[in-house]
Chain A
Amino acid sequence: MKRQIPLALVFIFGIFHIFQYFVPHESSEWLYEFFLKWIYIIGIFALALGIWSLIRVSWDKVKHRRPNWPYALITLGGLFAMIIFGFDYFRHFFTAEGLQNYMFRAFFDYILIPIQSTMFSLLAFFIASAAYRAFRARSLLATLLLLSALIIMLRFNPYLGFFGDYMEKTASWLLNVPNLAAKRAIIIGVGLGMVATSLKVMLGIERQYLGKD
C-alpha cells in the first residue's frame, strides 16, 4: 500500500502528460501550465528540508567538536545572517522588501558573486592541468583526442602564417562533419536511454527512488 499508491500515481501522471502532448485543446494546456507551476511551489517546500539537513549536520559538527568544527559555525552564521537580512527583520517584519535590503544585496554582490565567479575562473587552471595530463598520446584514442583539440585550439592563431588558412578550414570541417556525426550518435543514444528510463519509471520497473517499506 505504501508503495502501490505512489507507483500508481507515477503511472497516472506520466500517462496524463503523454496524452496531454497530443491534445492541443485549451483545457489540456491549462492543466499542463498548472502542473509546471505546482512543481516550482513544491520545490520550495523541499528546500526547507535541505536547509534543515544543513543546519543539523553543521550543528552536529559543532556539538561533537568534529574536525574543522569552527568552520561549521561560519556556515551557520552566514546562513542565519542572510535569512535575517532576507526577511528584513529590523525594519519591516515580513515584508517583500527583504530582497531589497541593503545588506542582503551587499552579501549577494560582494560575497556570493565574487566567490562564484572565482570558482568558475578556476576552470582556466584546471583545463590547463587536465590538458597537460591527458595529452600524452599514449594510445590511438588519446592521440585522436589530442590532435583534434590542437587543431581547434590553433585555428585562429595569427602566427601560423601559410598553414593558418588550412588549419582554419580543417577545424571548420572537423566541427561541421565528424563532430556532427558523433554528437548525433550520442544524442540518439541518450535520447533513447531517457525515453526508456522514463518508461521504466512510469511502469514501476525503476523504483529505487521510493525506498523500502
Chain B
Amino acid sequence: MKLKILSIFCSLLLGIVPLAIAQENADTASVDSTAVASPAPVSQLTAVDTDNDHGHSISLKWEPSPDDGAGLKSVIGYEVYRAESPGGPFVIRAALPSGASSHIDVGAKEKESGDYMADYTDYYYKVRAITADSLVYSDSDVFGPVQCYGQWFNTGRIPVLVFVIGFMCTTILLIQKAKSGAKLFVRRLAGIEAVDEAIGRATEMGKPILYVLGLGTAADIATIASYTILGRVAKKVAEYQTRLIVPCYDPITMTVAQETVKTAYADAGRPDDYNEDMVYFVTQSQFAYVAAVNGTMLRERPATNIYMGLFYAESLILAETGALAGSIQISGTDQIAQIPFFIVACDYTLIGEELYAASAYLGREPLLLGSLKAQDYAKAAFIVLAVIGFLTINFGIDWFKQLFYISN
C-alpha cells in the first residue's frame, strides 16, 4: 500500500515538475523576446571651432548610427549635448532628424543672454542616438575639450578681396595714365549735352531752373554724383545769371548742396549773386517733399527741371507734373524701378551708370576719366569671365564657378 502511494507520488512528481519547469521556461522565453536593445551609437564624433566667424560657435560632425532608420532599433533622430567638463552636467543643444551628420552649435555673444557661449572655454560634446522609445537611446563617446574663438580674417571672402584689390589697382594705374597726358575718350551722353541747351532756354525765357537732388542722404553714391552735376549747372547758371531753385529732402544734403552752389558761384566770378535761400530744406517726408516740389513747379514755372539722384515712387509724380507744366526735363537715377517712368516722362534720361559717368563727361578731368576707363575694364573682365563660365558649365567643369563663391 505504502509502495503504491509512493510510486503514484513519484510519477506525479516526474510528470508535474517537468511541466512546471517547462511553463517557467516558456514564461522566461516570452519576457526575453519583448526587450529592445539600445541602438548603435554614432561614431567618429569631432568638434572644431567654426571657421570665419566672430566666435561663440562650434561645428560638429559624426558618422550616423548604423541603425539610422532601420529595424526594431530604428534611430529616429539625434540630440547634441554640451558640457563644460567631461563628466557633465550635459545640456541639450539641438534635436536633429534622422540622417543628420553635422551641426553648428551657435551661442549668444552677450554675457547677459541665457544662451551665452564663452570664447576660449573648454567644451565637451556627445551625441545621443534616440529611438521612438524615450528610454531607449545610446550616447557617443564624449569629445573634447574644444574651444571657440573669433577669426581675424574671413577666408570665405577672398574673391571679394581679389576684386577689390584688382579694381583699385586698375583705377590707380589708369588715373596715372590719364595724368601723364594720355587721351581718354568718353562717348556722347545726350542727357548731359542737353543741360547747356536747357540752361540757355531758361535764360532766354527768364524762368528759373529747378534742380532736384532726390531722396538720398548726403552719403548716397547717386547723391554724390549729383553734387558734381549740380556744381556744373550752378556755375553755368551763375554765368547766365539765371535763377536756380534747389529744394532738398535731407538736411545734410542741403548743407552740402549749399556749399556746392556757393563754390560754383564763386568759380563763375559772381559770389555776391549767391543767395543761401536758393538751396533750402523742405521736409524729410517723401510725399510732403513731392507735394512741395509740385507746388513749386506749378507756381514758379521753371523752364528746366533736372532730376539727378536717388528717387523712389515719387519719380513719376515729379516728372509728370513737370511735363504738364511745360518744362524741359533731364533726369538720371540708378534706381532701376524708376528709370522707365523717367524715360516715359522726361526728355532726356541718364540710365543707371550714365549718372556716374556724367561727372567725368562734364569735367573731362584726367582723374575722373581714368576711373571711368577702369569701370569699362571691369565690364570687359565680366564679359570674359562670363564666356569662360558658359564654356566650363557646358563641359561640366564646376571648379571655375566655385572660385566666385563667397561664404557669409
Contacts and interface: CB of A to CB of B under 8 A. Distances in A.
Interface in B104-125: 109, 119
Contacts of A67: 299
Nearest to B229: A208
Contacts of B287: 115-116, 119-120
Interface string A182-199: 010011111011111111
Chain B at the A interface: SS class: helix
Contact of B157 (A22, A47, A198, A208): A22
Nearest to B163: A195
A21 interface: yes
A201 B218 CA distance: 12
A49 interface: yes
B228 A195 contact: no
B75 interface: no
A18 interface: yes
A193 B382 contact: no
Nearest to A47: B251
Contacts of A53: 251, 254, 280-281
Contacts of B52: 24
A199 B323 contact: no
A56 B344 CA distance: 37
Contacts of B167: 195-196, 199
B281 A25 contact: no
B359 interface: yes
Interface residues of A, number: 62
A38 interface: no
Contacts of B217: 43
Given A25-B152, A116-B287, A197-B356, A211 B336 contact: no
Contacts of B353: 186, 189-190, 192-193
A18 B164 contact: yes
Chain A at the B interface: SS class: helix
A60 B218 contact: no
B11 interface: no
B281 A50 contact: yes
B150 interface: yes
A149 to B, nearest CB: 8
A119 B290 contact: yes
Given A120-B287, A195-B167, A208-B227, A46 B157 contact: no
B260 interface: yes
A2 to B, nearest CB: 12
A67 B175 CA distance: 50
A92 to B, nearest CB: 26
Nearest to B291: A119
Contacts, number: 198
Contacts of A194: 221, 334, 356
A199 B168 contact: yes
Contact of B151 (A25, A43, A47): A25
A181 B260 CA distance: 38
Interface string A22-58: 1111111100000000000001001111110110110
A195 B381 CA distance: 15
A57 B277 contact: yes
Contacts of A188: 379, 382
Interface in A53-82: 53-54, 56-57, 60, 67-68
B146 interface: no
B176 interface: no
Give the most central of A54, A115, A129, A211: most B CB within 10 Å.
A211
A187 to B, nearest CB: 7
Interface stretch (B21-29, B92-100, B367-375, B393-401): B367-375
B43 interface: no
A29 B55 CA distance: 11
B99 to A, nearest CB: 30
B143 interface: no
A68 B356 CA distance: 38
Contacts of B218: 209
Contacts of B368: 200, 205-206
A5 interface: no
Interface stretch (A99-107, A130-138, A156-164, A167-175): A130-138
Interface in B293-348: 299, 313-314, 316-317, 319-321, 323-324, 334, 336, 339-341, 343-345
A123 B263 contact: no
A83 interface: no
Contacts of B280: 53-54, 57
A127 interface: yes
A200 B373 CA distance: 13
A29 B154 CA distance: 13
Contacts of B313: 120, 123
Contacts of B340: 145
A193 B252 contact: no
29 contacts: A18-B164, A23-B153, A24-B53, A24-B152, A26-B109, A49-B251, A49-B281, A53-B280, A54-B282, A56-B277, A120-B313, A129-B324, A130-B323, A131-B344, A133-B323, A189-B352, A189-B379, A190-B334, A190-B336, A193-B225, A196-B167, A196-B171, A196-B375, A197-B221, A199-B171, A200-B371, A205-B371, A210-B259, A212-B259
Interface of A: 18, 21-29, 43, 46-51, 53-54, 56-57, 60, 67-68, 112, 115-116, 119-120, 122-123, 126-127, 129-131, 133-134, 145, 183, 186-190, 192-201, 205-206, 208-212
Given A48-B251, A53-B251, A208-B224, 6 more contacts: A26-B119, A29-B54, A54-B280, A123-B316, A194-B221, A197-B224
